[in-house]
Structure 1
Amino acid sequence: MRLDKFLSTTLGITRKEAGKLLKNKQIEVNGEIVKNGSQKVTDDCDVEFNGRTLRFDGPRYFMLNKPSGFVCSHVDDFNPTVFILLDVVSPEKLHVAGRLDGDTTGLVLLTDDGQWSHRITSPRHVCEKVYYVETADPIAPETVEQFAEGVQLRGEKDLTRPAKLEILDEKAALITISEGKYHQVKRMFAAVGNKVEALHREQIGSVELDEELEPGEYRALTAEEVASFTK
């Protein structure tokens, strides 16, 4: 991670303010004064501000606008992982709270707080997710009622939980689900004789994907966003 970004994160200041601290010779890395904000720092570095050691305090929480083609795991033999998009210290300590398929885009939450992510992913907790979906064939009006009643997925014993479907166009809709079965949205449309051509997650719980984030970009969650999953 760049030193100026490390300072911004640990001190809660802007990059510009971090630059002033560096210019004023207030930052030391491994016992030496550093003025260059682009210098890389790792877990092994000892960073001090006016003699005070700086470290990440507490767990971390991020939202990422996941691009297509990236997988939500740390290691994959064929595809790049979302973790290479993060310019943070120790990305290997983070995990995804609610994975997306490689070809699905949109909101991904990342954290190193296992209890917090459990509130999002555990079937015991009802956490709604909103997806924008485009289909191969026109969406039949009766699909709204079918999804509201629950559909039978291939290989599943029970019906899906009721889901809300809002048809936006002939082949486009918003779907809200409250569970996370494997490839669930794709399988739900397959169960009614249609095929998902594109899928984009817009919201998890009350947290919406920041419209300013371009694919591949991320930001830290606000305290309010973090707390929304523990209320």
Structure 2
Amino acid sequence: MKLLRTIANLGYGSRRDVTAMIREGRVTDAHGEVLYTDDEPAHADVRIDGEPLDPPAGLLLMLHKPVGYTCSTKDRGRLVYDLLPPRFARRSPQLSTVGRLDRDTSGLLLLTDDGALLHRIISPKSKLPKVYEATLAQPLRGDEAAIFASGTLMLESEKTPLLPAELEALSPARARLTLHEGRYHQVRRMFAAVGNHVEALHRSHVGGLALGGLAEGAWRTLGPGEWEQLFQQ
């Protein structure tokens, strides 16, 4: 792909903007040699103002979503895209969240511009485990693990029971819950179904990927090896 289109598709600006950047000599190779509109250098060799280009299409990144941010491009208020470089919102193909975490949930959020990968992750057939840690308004009763694991729990207004889920008590009012599907506000609705209320919710794992020590609000790109790690359960 020619240089102009490559840079524009990565969201650095319109084709007119990128043309101006090239004319100003801001686009160079790794050795500082000025590049031109019709050049076709290797992606890794391109620099803008001395900085390497963002990863090409086929991007997968991990974000530590804080509470108070929405997984949307259109809602009012703070959006998860505000935590990324502004040009990421202008990439083509578009960078999308892989599923959602609600405004009041923190933790591991994946974003990608690879449509096939996105659908593979969220497909019900994948049954990728998602691990949440919940702080509850009331202490656990003791029967929640059996109820959640039964495969018979029905949520209000739904017609099919939930898949079995695993609960581990971390303290009297804290629990780790592993889900194998992703229904709307599922963790909160599950605890509501057993007479409790989730006061704080954090997702720590998706598939074989863990949030690890990534700071709140920080993000990083994931390499091909980590793509496969995602599907290792």
- The structure-2 alpha-carbon separation of the partners of 1:156 and 1:86, relative to structure 1 and needing over 3 Å to count, comes to same
AA partner of residue 179 (structure 2): I
Note if contact 2:128-2:231 (Cα within 8 Å) is conserved in structure 1: no
- The structure-2 alpha-carbon separation of the partners of 1:115 and 1:229, relative to structure 1 and needing over 3 Å to count, comes to farther
Q: Is structure 2 residue 83 aligned with structure 1 residue 85?
A: yes
How far apart, CA to CA, are the structure 1 residues paired with 2:87 and 2:176?
36
Note if contact 1:64-1:107 (Cα within 8 Å) is conserved in structure 2: yes
AA partner of residue 80 (structure 1): R
Q: Is structure 2 residue 64 aligned with structure 1 residue 65?
A: yes
1:7-65 CA distances to partner (integer Å, 9 max, x unpaired)?
A: xxx9xxxxxxxxxxxxxxxxxx514445xxxxxxxxxxxx3313464364331111000
- The structure-2 alpha-carbon separation of the partners of 1:88 and 1:76, relative to structure 1 and needing over 3 Å to count, comes to closer
Q: Which residue number corresponds to residue 123 of structure 1?
A: 124
Aligned pairs, number? 192
1:72 Cα deviation from its structure 2 partner: 0.3
Q: Is structure 2 residue 40 aligned with structure 1 residue 48?
A: no
How far apart, CA to CA, are the structure 2 residues paired with 1:104 and 1:120?
20
- The structure-2 alpha-carbon separation of the partners of 1:100 and 1:112, relative to structure 1 and needing over 3 Å to count, comes to same
How far apart, CA to CA, are the structure 1 residues paired with 2:114 and 2:231?
12
Q: Is structure 2 residue 173 aligned with structure 1 residue 171?
A: yes
Instruction: Give the secondary structure class of the aligned counterpart of 1:176.
Output: strand
Instruction: Give the secondary structure class of the aligned counterpart of 1:186.
Output: helix
Q: Which residue number corresponds to residue 135 of structure 1?
A: 136
How far apart, CA to CA, are the structure 2 residues paired with 1:221 and 1:91?
18
How far apart, CA to CA, are the structure 2 residues paired with 1:140 and 1:116?
40
Structure 2 unaligned regions, length at least 5: 1-9, 11-20, 47-52
Q: Which runs of 4+ in 1 moved over 4 A?
A: none
How far apart, CA to CA, are the structure 2 residues paired with 1:137 and 1:178?
25
Q: Which residue number corresponds to residue 158 of structure 1?
A: 160
TM-score, with structure 2 as normaliser: 0.76
AA partner of residue 216 (structure 1): G
How far apart, CA to CA, are the structure 2 residues paired with 1:64 and 1:156?
31
AA partner of residue 180 (structure 1): G
1:92-113 CA distances to partner (integer Å, 9 max, x unpaired)?
A: 4210002000000000000101
Q: Which residue number corresponds to residue 43 of structure 1?
A: none
How far apart, CA to CA, are the structure 2 residues paired with 1:57 and 1:189?
41
How far apart, CA to CA, are the structure 1 residues paired with 2:223 and 2:107?
18
AA partner of residue 142 (structure 2): P
Q: Is structure 2 residue 103 aligned with structure 1 residue 102?
A: yes
Instruction: Give the secondary structure class of the aligned counterpart of 1:161.
Output: coil
AA partner of residue 130 (structure 1): V
Note if contact 1:116-1:229 (Cα within 8 Å) is conserved in structure 2: no
Q: Is 51-60 or 181-190 further displaced after alignment?
A: 51-60
Q: What is the root-mean-square deviation in Å for CA atoms of aligned residues?
A: 2.2
Note if contact 1:119-1:230 (Cα within 8 Å) is conserved in structure 2: no
How far apart, CA to CA, are the structure 1 residues paired with 2:128 and 2:228?
14
Matches within 5 A, 1:22-33: 29-33=21-25
1:159 Cα deviation from its structure 2 partner: 1.1
1:55-100 CA distances to partner (integer Å, 9 max, x unpaired)?
A: 64331111000011100011112x2110011016332421000200
AA partner of residue 114 (structure 2): D
